Structure 1
Amino acid sequence: MRRRPSPSRTSLPDAAVDELQSALVRAMAGPVPPGGVAGVSFGAALDHRTGTVYASAPLWGAHTRPFDLLGALRSARPDVRWHVVNDVTAALLHVADSPTAHDRGKILLATISTGIACRTMDRRTGGIPVDGCGLQGEIGHLPAFVALDGLPVELRCDCGEPGHLAAFSSGPGIRRLGEVVRDRAPDRWEASRLGAGLAAGATFETALAKALAEGDPVANRLLDAATGPVADVVRTALCLDPGIDLVAFTGGVATGLGDHYREALLRHLDRAGLYLTSEREPGWVRERILVCGPGEADGLVGAGLAALAGEAA
């Protein structure tokens, strides 16, 4: 196992997008043994039919010129058989292959991390349907609304557009939402466990998790605001497709906050759930919500499963 930061606008802020893409291909192509088979789990909106990447706000910001990732990898290493899938698809393949899903027919997996997206899969057919662009589940770029103390919050997504779900609910989005909470109520912020943790030098993620564990009202208020748009998507998905047996969450934010994240979602769904169903069968929604633990939705495992399936096809 080797780990290294992806070449991105964060790690290389002065590099042009085509330079970042070339560096990324080199980084991915280098470690594969001669004549090998490589499964790739890639965090971007990509066409699952062709391996073409349309956009990746965390890597390239607002850039949306299509990039033929699969073609670039094949060109860089023609001796390798490449299989490229989106990282959420890869994580979903792992969950679907695990004991967690053995009695579930249809699964929705959402990742809440630097970016936000989801995928659905029917385990009975193995199908992950896509639209006319080869995409599915780019929920991070759906319109969303958040208010704090009755006042709307305006934040811009990493893709450059205002008011997207990821602007409020991704890892960077929650940090920006925290800045709004701080600026609107500085005294309350400074007196909070979250504010104290940050003032002591803790990272935002560490300070938030610790403050939630200590029952800090400011941290709970922040997480409640950040999970509201995500709960809206879950509610709509279950309303439109009651065949979904499992709604699983992964990614650094969801997995890192664990039960705190699940309970925040359920509070929203308890307050405003499915018409009649939440009142008459309250357990129906609750039993479908799962936050994956570390290693339970592993994109590398899923990429390996995708490569195995591709080789067998």
Structure 2
Amino acid sequence: MSTAITVFDVGGTHIRQAWWLREGELRARTSRPSPSFKRFPNATAAELQDMMVRELSDAVTETPEAVVGVSFGAALDHRTGIVYASAPLWGDHSEPFDLQAALSARRPDVTWHIVNDVTAALLHAAAAPGRMGHRKVLLATISSGIACRTIDQRHGQISVDGCGLQGEIGHLPAVAELAGRPVTLNCDCGEQGHLAACSSGPGIAQMAHVLQQREPERWANSLLAQLIADGVAFERAFRSALDEQDSLAIELLDAVTAPVAAVLRTALCLDPEIDETVLTGGVVHGLGQHYRHALMGHLTRQGLYLTSERTPEWLEQRVTVSSPGEADSLAGAGIAACTGASVAS
């Protein structure tokens, strides 16, 4: 195996690429737009998939015994490399796609190692010295999509179900409310009422639109609305409004973190061996400690039966926000390729 491994992190918005050295260093990072249904609205899912295969395979340098690690933003079977669905990339298309086979067919000279992007982020985060002594680590990413993974550090195992999946929480049913009334929104996967529909990056924007419709006067008088009217992008305007303690922005954040808190509360209730829940992703990093503060507010007001009352620090100690680069899917793709923690390799 070459000392340097080509690694990709494929998301709904960008494809990141780098060289990963087995010592753990990433070099020569680049980024380019992903061929997604939002970028190419007239393309079929099959055409988008073909674009993706060409994007990845053609970017790998022809070298002897080339090894590639791919972190892929999709629900995929970790036993076979078959992609079941990727709402951010292909919308509501859910016909299985054998990504492993397609890449190997186009570049048979390459050894491909494919893992889900959340799995890759978890592999990197769990490798931190401070987490090596944990029993289990759960990583949840809140970005253009939502998902989580749990690793048993004692065995280095990320368990999967009968479809080779684990932690696809973004497509669980979720209860969301705004202005005292329930909200049901469409998810990118084509279904209604999923967690990602109200709490992912696009979901938060959808929730903001609902709040604008339900509370037009409050919206018009808010700092969030004023910043958007001045041409500030929604994500940046939301963070700035939270920095200034804008009441409407705080209400919006409270609404979109409540469904996430409900899932994490259940996970920690069912598996007390989870010693740390690491939050990561574009939404979490974009909003910083505002996000964790809102999440912990829910877990404080409605925590675990008896545990939160008798040992309130138990939950507080188990929810952390990753620093940028601490849960890097590019590095995780390298770890997967180097250790064999991947599919069909």
TM-score category by the smaller chain? over 0.9
Map of 2:58 onto structure 1:
30
* Aligned positions of 1:135-150 closer than 5 A: 135-150=165-180
SS in 2 for 1:4: strand
Query: Residue 271 of structure 2 is aligned with which of 235, 241, 263?
Result: 241
Map of 2:5 onto structure 1:
none
Native 8 Å contact 1:112 1:253 kept in 2? yes
Confirm or deny that 1:282 pairs with 2:315.
Answer: no
Map of 1:163 onto structure 2:
193
Greater helix content: 1
Deviates further, 170-179 or 148-157: 148-157
Native 8 Å contact 2:258 2:295 kept in 1? yes
1: CA distance between counterparts of 2:118 and 2:177? 29
Query: Residue 7 of structure 1 is aligned with which of 35, 39, 45?
Result: 35
Deviation at 1:184, TM superposition (A): 0.8
Map of 2:242 onto structure 1:
212
Native 8 Å contact 2:179 2:215 kept in 1? no
Deviation at 1:31, TM superposition (A): 1.6
Q: TM-score, normalised by structure 2?
A: 0.89
SS in 2 for 1:19: helix
1: CA distance between counterparts of 2:253 and 2:58? 40
Q: Count how many residue pairs are aligned between Structure 1 and Structure 2.
A: 313
2: CA distance between counterparts of 1:9 and 1:234? 30
2: CA distance between counterparts of 1:303 and 1:100? 21
* Aligned positions of 1:260-279 closer than 5 A: 260-279=290-309
Map of 2:121 onto structure 1:
91
* Aligned positions of 1:168-207 closer than 5 A: 168-207=198-237
Query: Residue type matched to 1:32 in 2?
Result: V
Deviation at 1:311, TM superposition (A): 8.9
2: CA distance between counterparts of 1:245 and 1:255? 22
Distance 1:215 1:130, change over 3 A: same
* Aligned positions of 1:35-54 closer than 5 A: 35=64, 36-54=66-84
SS in 1 for 2:276: strand
Distance 1:311 1:215, change over 3 A: closer
Q: TM-score, normalised by structure 1?
A: 0.98
Query: Residue type matched to 1:164 in 2?
Result: H
Query: Residue type matched to 2:211 in 1?
Result: V
Confirm or deny that 1:19 pairs with 2:55.
Answer: no
Q: Which runs of 5+ in 2 are unaligned?
A: 1-28
SS in 2 for 1:118: strand
Native 8 Å contact 2:265 2:304 kept in 1? yes
2: CA distance between counterparts of 1:146 and 1:71? 40
Deviations 1:67-110 (A, max 9, x none): 00011110111111100000000000000111342332200001
Native 8 Å contact 2:224 2:241 kept in 1? yes
The alignment yields a C-alpha RMSD, in angstroms, of 1.2
2: CA distance between counterparts of 1:279 and 1:220? 26
Native 8 Å contact 1:92 1:302 kept in 2? yes
Deviation at 1:211, TM superposition (A): 0.7
Deviation at 1:33, TM superposition (A): 1.7
Map of 2:8 onto structure 1:
none
1: CA distance between counterparts of 2:134 and 2:288? 21
Native 8 Å contact 1:258 1:293 kept in 2? no
Q: Which runs of 5+ in 1 are unaligned?
A: none
Map of 1:116 onto structure 2:
146
2: CA distance between counterparts of 1:11 and 1:293? 29
